[in-house]
Amino acid sequence: MPRRISILPDAVADQIAAGEVVERPASVVKELVENALDAGARHVRVELEQGGKILIQVSDDGSGMGREDAVLAVDRHATSKVRSVADLVGVATFGFRGEALPAIASVSRFTLTTHDGEGTGTELSISGGRVERVTDSVRQRGTTVTVRALFFNTPARRKFLRSVASEARAAHDAVATLALAHAEAGFELEVDATLRLAVPPGQEPEERLAAVWGRDVAGTLIPVAYAAGAFRVEGFVQRPADAKPTGRRTQLFVNGRPFKDPFLVRAAEAGYRSAIHPGDRPSVYLRVEVAPGEVDVNVHPAKLEVRFRDRIGVERVVEEAVRHGLGALVAAAPVGQWRALVPGGVEASPPGRAADLADLFAPGEQPTPAAALPQESGAGFQVPLLQAFDTYIVYEAPEGIVIVDQHSAHERVLYEAVLAQLSGSGAPAQRLLLPLTLELTDEELDAVEVHGAELRRIGFEAEAFGGRTVVVHAVPSPHPRFDAGACFREVIADLARGRFGGWANRLERFAATYACRAAVKAGDRLEQPEMRELLLRLFATDLPPHDVHGRATIVQLPREELERRFGRR
């Protein structure tokens, strides 16, 4: 019987490896720049012609190589980073597999010029995987890799490359990603003799973000720093008010290594719950630090994915990190503590107070006078409050003038209170002497049935009365101007039509719907005690700067800005 199994020739094996590592010019750029960073480069320059189809050249000022190492570097599985199987656990370098250089050389006309600072340099020329010559060269310490005519010997692969513009964009993204990961190094990218990216070494992370993503995007970001368990998360996330359904940017790193993980991005978005509209997608730049042994970076040929030992743990910490970062947000400024908006710098209400406040301004209940409140629960609100246009509450804070949207503020208070009621003992209901009789559509009747338990927990008691009619026997009373019948209709209509359908959690969706419809409205006149009570309860919530749609509740006009406008600065 003839033998059917044979060992592949080296040339075929190299081209198979090239298919795994070298998908397009951007893959070559990524691998070569990572090698430069592993060599300790402080400056990396990338040059492209025709999107990398004609020329890719990467030069660095790293450690360089002697002749013996240069010749070995183009052999398969030759690497300076791994010596044993144990080294694969917790590997901290980029190019640890030893496949990139031989794979690239097998499908191009390849030149490696390097010098380790001792003696003369080395130039190695390879065409289609075959070494053509090894000669002396003159250059400063470091390495230059020149790749010409990529896929010249595999025309089928070359045929599937995209347009020059697409390949150039992909290469730019590869360099930009590594530039974001390594602010300690400088990068230059030149495409067809035009400088597309230039960042100096030693930039601060926010400076590097502004240089790579643009100042318009960077100006919408706030810092994040949080640690729990085995993980530490740092970086920047977008202010909720600036999140949009499209155009977002996401970048994740683990121990300085860029990677892609849609589940971690989703965890970051979960940190925005009740701070943005469900359809919005915020930009995030997050760096996860964890012990090297807790993450496996050797699960993808192009090293684009990683595997965490504690997957649930890292998702939880990322979500908490975003939540924690948003909690320190001031609506009008990217950085700052929102508690600085409390007059006199006094803390707002004690923690947990917002959980039982669905009866804000209820009939028969007088709001607690600020003078009667203990010092630690907000007596700092002794400053005069002004209601502008029957919509905004205005007062003086230590750092400037603060303007609060009364509807958005009350919406935030009610949302958190209702969430607590839905998971607790519920809210007291007000029995009606004359029950409300309402006629609904079929979809709205279904919504009443589906959400009956939640309706009862917030104070609505409704039952079917035949046909499309329901009778409401009891209602909540969140404020004196509350129109129970209109609110019930609007809540049921929203639930039936899926207006808040983007919420992942059913209870959160219900709480957001009710809070939006039950809150005091723009145009409602509030008395001084009511405004004080609303502000105290707002600052007792977890995320006071934003309502459940992501709109700002608080805007600060800094004192410095006032002085500039009046020519005092």
CATH number at residue 26: 3.30.565.10
- In one-letter notation, the amino acid at residue 237 is V
Q: Do 277 and 177 fall within a single domain?
A: no
Gyration radius (Cα) of the chain, Å: 31
pLDDT at 56: 97
Report the first-to-last Cα separation within the chain, whole angstroms: 95
Domain boundary residue, one of 183, 199, 215: 199
Domain that holds residue 290: 206-327
Q: Is 394 helix (H, G, I), strand (E, B) or coil?
A: strand
Q: Do 290 and 410 fall within a single domain?
A: no
pLDDT at 347: 41
pLDDT at 451: 86
Q: Do 183 and 211 fall within a single domain?
A: no
For residue 328, give both structure tokens: 């320190």
Q: Do 182 and 291 fall within a single domain?
A: no
pLDDT at 111: 97
User: Are 212 and 199 in contact, with CB atoms under 8 Å apart?
Assistant: yes
- Tokens 């709480």 correspond to what residue? 511
Q: Is 101 helix (H, G, I), strand (E, B) or coil?
A: helix
pLDDT at 514: 85
User: Are 373 and 536 in contact, with CB atoms under 8 Å apart?
Assistant: yes
Answer whether residue 564 is part of any domain. no
Answer whether residue 275 is part of any domain. yes
For residue 333, give both structure tokens: 């400024």
Q: Do 394 and 526 fall within a single domain?
A: yes
C-alpha dist (Å) from residue 292 to 37, 262, 392, 548: 18, 21, 51, 39
Phi-psi domain of 416 (left: phi exceeds 0; alpha: psi -120 through 50; beta: other): alpha
What is the number of domains present in the chain?
3
CA distance 405 to 407: 6
Answer whether residue 5 is part of any domain. no
Domain boundary residue, one of 172, 199, 226: 199
Q: What is the DSSP letter of 95?
A: -
Give the domain CATH number at 414: 3.30.1370.100
CA distance 372 to 242: 39
Q: Do 235 and 318 fall within a single domain?
A: yes
pLDDT at 238: 93
Phi-psi domain of 496 (left: phi exceeds 0; alpha: psi -120 through 50; beta: other): alpha
pLDDT at 99: 76
Q: Do 321 and 427 fall within a single domain?
A: no
Other Cβ atoms within 10 Å of 230 Cβ, number: 16
- Tokens 């990961």 correspond to what residue? 181
Answer whether residue 333 is part of any domain. no
Q: Is 144 helix (H, G, I), strand (E, B) or coil?
A: strand
Q: Do 44 and 68 fall within a single domain?
A: yes
Q: Do 396 and 470 fall within a single domain?
A: yes
Give the domain CATH number at 254: 3.30.230.10
Contacts (Cβ under 8 Å, ≥6 apart) of 72: 78
- Tokens 């009866």 correspond to what residue? 359
Domain boundary residue, one of 299, 327, 355: 327
- In one-letter notation, the amino acid at residue 293 is G
Q: Do 61 and 96 fall within a single domain?
A: yes
For each successive 10 residues of the chain (569 residues), what is the average pLDDT? Answer: 61 57 91 93 97 96 92 76 50 59 92 93 94 93 96 90 94 96 96 96 94 92 93 93 86 92 92 78 95 81 81 93 77 38 44 36 38 35 86 88 92 88 75 89 89 86 87 87 86 79 66 86 91 88 78 84 84
- The residues with which 127 forms a beta bridge, in sequence order, are 109, 130
